[in-house]
Amino acid sequence: MLDFSQTFAKIEMTINIVTVFHLVKHEREIPVDDDRKLTVRAVERALDILLCFTRDSDLSLTEIAANISLHKSTVHRLLTTLEDRGFISRNPATEKYRLGIRIWELSTHLPVSENPGALLLPAMERLRDRLGETVSLYLRDGLERVRIQAVQSNQAIRRVAQIGARLPLSVGASSKVLAACAPPEVQRELLEGKDWPQAIDRQGYADQLKEVLRAGYATSFEEREPGAAAVAVPVIGRSGEVAAALSLSGPVSRLSRETLVEYAGVLKEAAAEMGLMVS
């Protein structure tokens, strides 16, 4: 009598893999290194597609394929599956893609303790109402900062902050705060990196980071965008670690250098309140 136990085991494993986004029916890769986990190439590529939308909200097939260096036919196949599952939606008029409703649904189930942006939103709204400018919250991810929450100013002329935007740690008030509070090895990697902007003096930036630690805040005046200014402070959680950077930004017509320094004190008070709510 034939023994099909091993065959059934292999079939079961294959079914489990295929279930993940229903994508691995196209291609999968098992690394040779036994210490590495099973890597599914199609799932990695699907996630790469989703991550393309951290910088742009609407992208064409050609733009997505160029961003992740894949052939358009492969990207189209993955996009079709993601669209079928609701993770991607396509605008028939422009033929551009954007994140689907399933992404939002997943984000609503993120535990509040793991989502400081949701937890601190009421305090950010109070700060916006008090000072009248756009308030943002950033986390550090490697050598970048990611805006995880924003409360827009109600004024006609304002700075609009897009949630999910990624920005380099080399410029901007929030970047200085997160870089100043980062481990020494992160600072070295940042300052010695080959992608460092030529217009910014490395030693001068390093000196600014020391000043940020001394003063407890950072400012930027038309550093990243002409006509824009910002002030940022660290949010220190109950553990004593820096949980995020809290910033206030707006047009230079309302935020003079003197005003930024004045508002730094207000932000410090708000950050101290927020720090009691996060670990």
Distances (CA, A) of 73 to 28, 47, 64, 93: 17, 17, 11, 21
Q: Residue 193: which residues within 8 A CB-CB, separation 6 or more? A: 143
pLDDT reported for residue 144: 93
Q: Do 90 and 169 fall into the same domain? A: no
Last residue of a domain, one of 105, 133, 153: 105
Q: Are residues 72 and 202 in the same domain?
A: no
pLDDT tens column, 93-132: 899 999 988 887 787 676 655 678 888 999 999 999 999 9
Q: Using an 8 Å Cβ cutoff, are 96 and 58 in contact?
A: yes
Residue 161's nearest CA partner among 227, 247, 233 is 247
Taking the complete model, does pTM exceed 0.75, yes or no? no
Same domain as 32, residue 87: yes
- Is the pLDDT at 16 greater than 50? The verdict is no
Same domain, 145 and 96: no
Q: Which residues span the domain enclosing 127? A: 111-275
CB contact at 8 A, 245 and 137:
yes
Q: CATH no. for residue 82?
A: 1.10.10.10
255 exposed, middle or buried (CB, 10 Å; 0-12, 13-18, 19+)?
buried
| Pair (99, 229) in one structural domain | no
pLDDT for the residue 248: 98
Q: Are 169 and 189 in contact (CB under 8 A)?
A: no
Based on the fold, state whether residues 115 and 195 are members of the same structural domain: yes
Same domain assignment for residues 87 and 116? no
221 bridge partner residues: 229
Do 101 and 115 fall into the same domain?
Answer: no
Looking at the fold, whether 146 and 228 belong to one and the same domain comes out as yes
Question: Are the beta carbons of 68 and 45 closer than 8 angstroms?
Answer: yes
Examine the pLDDT at 236 and tell me if it is beyond 50.
yes
Nearest to 234 by CA among 221, 222, 243, 225: 243
Phi, psi for 247 (deg, rounded to 5): -130, 155
Mean pLDDT in the chain? 84
Q: Where are the beta strands (DSSP E) in the chain?
A: 59-60, 88-91, 96-99, 134-141, 144-151, 166-168, 218-221, 228-236, 242-251
Q: Taking Cα atoms as reference points, which of 55, 50, 63 lies closest to residue 106? A: 50
Are residues 90 and 184 both part of a single domain? no
Question: What is the token pair recorded at 108?
Answer: 């609503």
Q: Identify the DSSP state of 29.
A: B
Examine the domain organization and report whether 34 and 144 are in the same domain. no
| Number of structural domains in the chain | 2
Q: Last residue of some domain: 55, 85, 105?
A: 105
| Residue that finishes a domain, picked among 83, 105, 127 | 105
Q: Tokens 């590529």 appear where?
A: 45
